[in-house]
Amino acid sequence: METVAKACSSANNYMYRILPLETEYSKKLFLSRAFGSIDAPYPVELEEAMQTILKKCGGLPLAIVGLGSLLASYNSKEDKDMWDTICRSIGSQMDNNPTLEGMREIVTLSYNHLPYHLKFCIMYLSIFPEDYIIGTDRLLNRWIAEGLVEERRGLTLMEVAKIYLDELISRSMIDPVSYSKHDGRVETCRVHDMMLEVMVSKSLEANFVSLVGGQYGGMSYDRPRRLSIHGGKENMAVRLGRRDGIKHIDVQHARSLSMFGLKWHSLLDRLGDFRLLRVLDMENCTGLENRHMKDICQMYLLRYLNLSGTNISKMPEKVGELEHLEVLDANDTNLTCLPSSVTKLVRLQRIIFTNKHDWTHWWLPSGDLSRMKALVEVKRLGIENIVAAEALGELEQLRAACIYIDSDEDTVNKLALSLRKIYSLRSLDMKRGGDHKSSKTLNFLHKLDSSPPRLLQFLKLQGTLSELPNWVGSLTHLVEVDISRAVMDDENEQLFGMLSEAPNLRSIILQLNFYSKRELVARTVHKFSALKKLVVSLYCEFPEVFTVEEGSMRNLEVLTLEFGGRESARFWGSKHLESMKELHFYAQSCPRAETIVRQVVQHRAAQDRSVLPALIRLQFHDCFVRGCDGSILIDSAGGNVAEKEADPNLTLRMLDVIDD
């Protein structure tokens, strides 16, 4: 690393050497991992072993976090022997070379102490390229399809897989990257480079994974079990380390095939040789063509098929013969429809279908949807007749549904009856065609009042709706609501009145044409005890004014107001939002506003350190009179004396920074 730094610097004194953590901070970091808090009490019997471990870690955060997470399950005085064993296991490498071999030793030690089932799951991540951001749904579904998740009484395989993921995250072996905005679960993750290096070594040693291309271009394999093809800068066919190419490699016993960052690969022409595949992951493989689908439809043991981001535009009817298929991901492709034979896939649990160019394409099942009783998630399902609407009610395991309906009233009434039967539903995204003048509305949702989906966590409604259904306020698990194009009358201010009754609602998103009144008001009685995030669109005709009264939304932390350049739009009541941490005014009209402000302030502060306290004082004086409204920036005009020229404000500085 120092060699690279020297090459990038004109002189040695331009290099910044990152110092290891001091003993005090090393201990705090270790305690936070091993005992849950930097101030947590711990048995005195473990003190000596702890000091030895911290000394061997040499102030390196990754080593401290790794060992702390490893010992988190052994934090009583009876576990002293385990702590001593860990101390001895670290060995001398960490003392001699604390930045390389020693770190590998720490990571290997963490791996060696994993439960048997988690070792395979963490090794499985060696399939993905370095620094690759992994969708957790993609990872968990692949674990399940590969048979790496054990059955547990009372839990689904997906629930068990989530437990595995949480444990690996708690041990700091997987790093979370992003979280779901409505339920807080990890949406994407990655593996630290050092962890990946060790996992690749373990996987290759056990013939668990075979890696080809990129930095693994010289590797060769006889009978790969899990084949992962990594793209290089050339984006051309990659050989498996032999002069005669890939055609002599035996792929008949491969269980999974994954391709990353490839426009084309000669292996695509050998898909017909992969007869025993359980997992085929072609995400963003633009070299996949319609002609390859014939071979894919003959992989009769396939459980997981990911075509997301590819350019395929036709799917053969023979896809219905993949009787073991559990996940079909056709997200962001050129497909305009799915074949009717898809309804024959009785084991299918997740089906995702979207077109990358036209959102109006929906999957309109022409077969018997009721046969697909294993379905847990369906995205972009179009309901166009009573038969399909009625069949939906027989999918008792359905947890997430994105539904489009553009049918007559008999069909939507039948759909309402079906939704009342799906007790397991956690996420509902409902859209109905037609504008606000059309008779096609979402008002049929009021028919769910007597038996709504009680476990619903996420609700998204797109379409005309006179007022929010009363049952929404009774949903104790609801954490996010997203409403657009509803053009609500809201005569009795029922919108916020109903939403404020949902006890765990954390996020509200009110988008394009959601309202038909001039003013939207959060009254004092609308407490919203759990609400953290609110997005309100003000760039359409209505609402024109958004007001928050004192006592409402006290726990709100993030408020986004989308004005879209509309000068008549107004917001009142920011001073009542006691917990607010972020206020975004320009998310649509000027998305770089905050970046621009930050750059200007940083530039000026580098020249004059007094800029920052002067700006803080400027804000204080502005907020002191009738709230934080920017009135301190207004100049005097026409005989009216501006606020900035009042005696207490004459010493204010850095107004020119605002002008910049």
- How far lies 426's CA from each of 421, 429, 456, 478, 547, in Å? 13, 10, 4, 9, 31
Task: Retrieve residue 229's tokens.
Answer: 């093809």
Say whether 273 counts as a known binding-site residue: no
**Catalytic option among 446, 477, 584, 621:** 621
Spatial distance between the Cα atoms of 30 and 242, rounded to a whole number of angstroms? 47
Instruction: Tell me which residue of 483, 486, 481 sits closest to 463, measured CA to CA.
Output: 486
Task: Report helix, strand or coil for 549.
Answer: coil
Token match 């934080």: residue?
Answer: 628
Spatial distance between the Cα atoms of 550 and 536, rounded to a whole number of angstroms? 18
Q: CB–CB of 404/433 below 8 Å?
A: yes
117 catalytic per annotation: no
Token match 């056990």: residue?
Answer: 206
- How far lies 554's CA from each of 500, 504, 508, 578, in Å? 12, 14, 15, 6
Token match 């934090």: residue?
Answer: 75
Say whether 625 counts as a known binding-site residue: yes
Beta bridge partners of 458: 427, 480
Say whether 250 counts as a known binding-site residue: no
Helix 80-90 with 47-57: angle, nearest 10 deg: 20
Q: Write the burial class of residue 577 (CB in 10 Å: 0-12 exposed, 13-18 middle, 19+ buried).
A: buried
- How far lies 227's CA from each of 67, 133, 260, in Å? 32, 19, 11
Task: Retrieve residue 596's tokens.
Answer: 């621009």
The residue ranges of DSSP E strands in 540-659, in sequence order, are: 545-548, 558-562, 570-572, 582-584
Instruction: Tell me which residue of 475, 471, 459 sits closest to 402, measured CA to CA.
Output: 459
- Phi-psi sector, 236: left (phi>0), alpha (psi -120 to 50), beta: beta
Q: Write the burial class of residue 401 (CB in 10 Å: 0-12 exposed, 13-18 middle, 19+ buried).
A: buried
Task: Retrieve residue 322's tokens.
Answer: 């993949």
Task: Retrieve residue 138's tokens.
Answer: 């993609």
- C-alpha gyration radius of the chain: 29
Instruction: Tell me which residue of 79, 26, 74 sits closest to 51, measured CA to CA.
Output: 26
φ and ψ at residue 352, rounded to 5 degrees: -125, 125
DSSP letter string over 172-241? TSSEEEEE-TTT--EEEEE--HHHHHHHHHHHHHTTS-EEEBTTBTT---SS-SEEEEEP-TT-S----S
Beta bridge partners of 481: 459, 508
Spatial distance between the Cα atoms of 240 and 229, rounded to a whole number of angstroms? 9
Task: Report helix, strand or coil for 568.
Answer: coil
Task: Report helix, strand or coil for 428.
Answer: strand
462-481: b (≥16 Cβ within 10 Å) or e: bbbbbbbbebbbebebbbbb
Spatial distance between the Cα atoms of 536 and 520, rounded to a whole number of angstroms? 10
Torsion of CA 496, 497, 503, 504, to 10 degrees: -10
Helix 193-205 with 101-112: angle, nearest 10 deg: 60
Say whether 183 counts as a known binding-site residue: no
Give binding residues as ranges. 622, 625, 627, 629, 631, 643
Give binding residues for Ca(2+) as ranges. 622, 625, 627, 629, 631, 643
Cite the active site residues: 621
